[in-house]
Chains A and B, each alone.
Chain A
Amino acid sequence: MKPSSLNRKLLRDLWSLKTQVLSIALVIACGIGAFVGSFSTHSSLLHAREHYYDSARFAHVFASAKRAPASLAARIRAVPGVAEVETRVVRDAQLSIPGVTPPMIARLIGIDLAHPPGMNRLTLRSGRWPAPGARGEAAVNQRFLEARRLALGGRVNVLLNGKLERLTLVGTVLTPEYIYATRGGGMPDDEWFAVLWVEAAPLAAAFNMEGAFNSALLRLSKNSSVEKAVEALDAILEPYGGFGAVEREDQMSHKILSQEINQQRVWGTVLPAIFLAVAAFILNVVLHRQVNAQRGEIAALKALGYEDRAIAWHYLKFASVIALLGVGLGLALGWWLGRAMTGLYTDFFHFPRFEFVLPAGVLAAGSAVALAAAFGGALAAIRGVLRLRAAEALRPPAPAEFRPLLVERLGYARLFTPAQRMILRNLERKPVRAAVTVAGIAGSVAILLAGTFWTDAVEYFMDVQFNKVMRSDVNVGFAEPLPHSVRNDLGRLPGVSQVEVTRAIPVRLRAGHRSYRTALVALADDALLQRILDAELREAKPAPGSVLLTTRLAERLGVAPGDEVMAELLEGKRVKSWLRVGGTVRELAGMNAWMRLEDLNRFAREGAVVSGAGLLVDRAQEGALLERLKQMPAAAVVIVNRTLVDTFRETSAKNVLFFTAILSAFAATIAVGVVYNSARIQLAERAWELASLRVLGFTRGEVSVLLLGELALEIAAAIPLGFAAGYGLAALLLALMPHEMIEFPLIISRPTYLYAGAVVVAAGVVSALIVRNRIDNLDMVGVLKTRE
């Protein structure tokens, strides 16, 4: 079938504007790509999580105690709303592998090999389960094996209650409990933290836990109250050293996974909104120009009897083709992006099945939003056409009117050369268009900043945490509280130049109906290796007789300085008493409750005891020190702070690089889309004027300056605006992606600003070069024979 004449015109118009069409389609594609990429990642994560939680029967409530008799399970099962209970023994122990000096932590979980767990079910990924009765066998979480490049059959050493035990790794396992495996710091920790599943009985025997448990998992029946179950559970376990139960929402792996899923949603909304708004703007301007350039043709169509509706539809089709091209490219981009991001997440989150899911709804929503943005842009331009009467449309538009610039009217006329005046008056005459161009370019600068400032924020955060807050090299946590004099013993270890002791007691803080499980921590009065610093790096100290809370924790509990919180210590004499909140401190990390050492000891009704120490260590003797610490049963937890930083840098570097590259490409696409289209439109409108100047003897370079000078001014104005907008957008993103444990500071370094500015300038230069080619080929002869 032969296309109608109007459709043939449509195709030819599109073809003649192909570069512009493509550049707008690419901006739309970035929006759709970001939308589809983020939401498909969001869906994939959500789908994988829900599917996994369901099939593995992930627990609803997690409780731990010091030592509870097995018979207690029946009492727990009787709590209203509790559908299932499983108890087990879980212990952390020092882990070592020949050739690795820094100590690692193993979380040992006892399983009954004859009756596999009914909750938090394990998936065997490779190898086999430990054989019942065969001592010294363990299954390990898959990522530890991979991160440490160990093979099945490999051996590790664990310190079981002071006794070194060799375990052979016979199988790799996944669990919904450690989709994200961390010692507790919230950072990925696969190299330094292993989860080992061993036969229950020998583990219990090693820790004197026969006939007892220290960890309970609960599944609740539908519509039952989680709070009530937690409360009842706490009451039952309290006499047995209960550490306070937590619901799924507070389970570490779940919490981190959920935060990540939320981030994808935020990215998928904020970015596409900006892209599609910019695309709608450009489309509007391009169509406006197209419609104006075709006044004569539109008049002829009207004179021939075409209805307004047919003409409007013709131009809407023009917009639709661009939008659909953008949607098509965007879906492909989003598909690729989604797969790539999903792939990145497999490094952090360990699901048995993690498939890329692209829900039809996401596709439909993306397409609808893009078409709506394109139509919105197009309709504004088309309205003008429909208002034109045929005869009116046949006349050329009224000549452009200009007036002196404001500065000239104020008497500073001689400040500018004629060429500069042309540039400035053009800008002044079309302020809206100039503003739109500036806004579009500023938008791309903002996207770059908001996308790349994370590196700065994280670097700053790491610098504060590891160079200013925590300045110790090695931190030691004791198995049991020790007298203050342990400080002297530690000071005598090889390489140790400074020792500072700390006391931390697990606590549940309550205020009204809100509660939170954390630790009351006390530092020495003269502590230098660990300090309490707020976001502005001012040091804070807990006031005598009171507790100092991290602002996030105070907000979560709904308390302010002067209020009281109920503190239930989960260790020792399990003191329960009110504590006055002496102040809050906006720390970047943690949900901390600080007290003075003597206050905490008095509150806990214990003598001068400590539970951990920070050490300043001579790097050359670090190895020797760590070997000595491994031999000390009292040193239950040994953390080399450097390894935390290294692991974090390694894992985040890959992601940061990926996202920076993607966002830079996106932002450059917007910048090129805006600058190139703006230049092309101006060139079309001013070709006559510029060609006249060429006739008068102006060189190509001089003429280019007139056109590109305007763009240069717009870019120059857009960059500082974009910096401000990017700062705001970064603040918005930080606010939309709250992190319970960490407050990322809004830090944007000078190189990041420079980078964002440079990418946009580069995009401007590329656009200018493409347009420059057209300026060089201006038709000087033709321009003399036609009126503008």
Chain B
Amino acid sequence: MLFSARALAKTYRMGESEVHALRGVDLDVAEGEFIVLLGPSGSGKSTLLNILGGLDTATAGTLHFEDKDLSRADETALTRYRREYVGFVFQFYNLIPSLTARENVELVTDIAAEPMPAAQALQWVGLGERLDHFPSQLSGGEQQRVAIARAIAKRPQVLLCDEPTGALDYETGKLVLEVIAKTNAELGTTAMVITHNAAIAGMADRVLKLGDGRIVGEARPERKLTPAEISW
């Protein structure tokens, strides 16, 4: 198993009140799986993804990544974990505005162990022609694809995407999904995608439904659709 979580719980203090973002999640993720996380706002999807990605730690329960115990890792260990194994894709791309597309990718390849060349990563996401453009010179879809190139260039074992199409229009959104699917299929990278868009679930090996901090449903589509086959 790539991930195995047991009784994972997360509690925040919000002023006077306590918020239970996760209330005991058990989850196993196999290598190469494509998982879509569905659920309403506040269901705990992002909290789960952030804990899996080493951005946050659980208040209770255990989490293992391969043989590493992430639930006991300190800040330094988590930083190393993110650096070596995890690729992130966010709703707002989070590119560095002062760096070009190529340099944004190089930012990661400079600190990764065996990265692919930045130009190759951008080629992979279909941006081979726009290497030296700054974020302000790229469209939203292009910026998101740079973010994906940045995420995969270090050859991560897992790609975590939080609403990757949330800020994009239909056509560009599909283009981005195609890149994620291609990465999962051809590079074998485990992908976990959070979305509000139920149509995207068709692309997954497994769909997890979250509600009130728990996994409330799990489905395995009979046939995995390609992005071209889905519409919303």
Contact = CB atoms under 8 A, between A and B. Distances in A.
B98 A429 contact: yes
Nearest to A780: B55
Given A697-B84, A785-B46, A402 B110 contact: no
A689 interface: yes
Interface stretch (B99-107, B173-181, B196-204): B99-107
B50 interface: yes
Secondary structure class of chain B's binding surface, majority of residues: mixed
B79 A699 contact: yes
B111 interface: yes
Question: A399, A418, A421, A696: which has the most chain B beta carbons within 10 Å?
Answer: A696
Given A695-B88, A781-B50, A422 B94 contact: no
A418 B82 contact: no
Contact of B96 (A417, A693, A702, A781): A693
Contact of B98 (A400, A699, A781): A400
Nearest to A423: B98
A422 B98 contact: yes
A641 interface: no
Contact of A400 (B79, B82, B97): B97
A89 to B, nearest CB: 84
Interface string B197-224: 0000000000000000000000000000
Secondary structure class of chain A's binding surface, majority of residues: helix
Contact of B103 (A399, A421, A698, A784): A421
Interface in A357-405: 399-404
Given A417-B110, A426-B98, A695-B55, A402 B136 contact: yes
Given A696-B82, A696-B107, A401 B96 contact: no
Contacts of B134: 401-403
A784 B162 contact: yes
B79 A693 contact: no
B3 interface: no
Interface residues of B, number: 37
Nearest to B105: A418
Contact of B111 (A401, A697, A781): A697
A692 B94 contact: yes
B125 to A, nearest CB: 16
Interface residues of A, number: 34
A689 B96 contact: yes
Nearest to B162: A784
Contacts of A400: 97-98, 136
Given A402-B97, A696-B150, A784-B90, A418 B136 contact: no
B92 interface: yes
A311 interface: no
B107 A418 contact: yes
A785 B94 CA distance: 10
Contacts of A697: 79-80, 82-84, 86, 108, 111
A510 interface: no
Contacts of A787: 92
Contact of A695 (B94, B103, B135): B94
Contact of B135 (A399, A693, A784): A399
Contacts of A425: 98-99
B91 interface: yes
Interface string B130-150: 001011100000000000001
A783 interface: yes
Contacts of A5: none
Nearest to B83: A697
A418 B162 CA distance: 26
A700 B74 CA distance: 13
Nearest to A413: B132
Given A696-B107, A697-B82, A421 B92 contact: no
B231 interface: no
B33 interface: no
A393 B76 CA distance: 40
Contact of A696 (B76, B88, B91, B103): B88
Interface string A678-721: 00000000001100111111111010000000000000000000
Contacts of A71: none
A72 B108 CA distance: 100
Contacts of A695: 53, 55, 82, 88, 90, 94
B116 to A, nearest CB: 16
Contacts of A488: none
A425 B96 CA distance: 11
A784 B150 contact: no
Contacts of B50: 781, 784
A399 B136 contact: yes
Given A781-B56, A786-B92, A699 B99 contact: no
A787 B94 CA distance: 8
Contacts of A422: 96, 98-99
Nearest to A403: B134
A418 B99 contact: yes
Contacts of B103: 418, 421
A784 B167 CA distance: 13
A788 to B, nearest CB: 8
Nearest to B56: A781
Interface of B: 46, 50, 53, 55-56, 75-76, 79-80, 82-84, 86, 88, 90-92, 94-100, 103-104, 106-108, 110-111, 132, 134-136, 150, 162
Given A429-B98, A695-B94, 17 more contacts: A401-B97, A401-B136, A402-B136, A403-B134, A418-B107, A422-B96, A422-B99, A425-B98, A426-B98, A689-B94, A689-B96, A697-B84, A697-B111, A699-B79, A784-B50, A784-B91, A784-B94
22 contacts: A400-B97, A401-B136, A402-B97, A402-B99, A403-B134, A404-B100, A418-B99, A418-B106, A421-B98, A422-B99, A429-B98, A689-B97, A695-B53, A695-B94, A696-B88, A697-B80, A697-B111, A780-B55, A781-B50, A784-B92, A784-B162, A787-B92
Q: What are the 4 A-B residue pairs with the smallest beta carbon separation, nearest first?
A: A697-B83, A692-B94, A697-B82, A425-B98
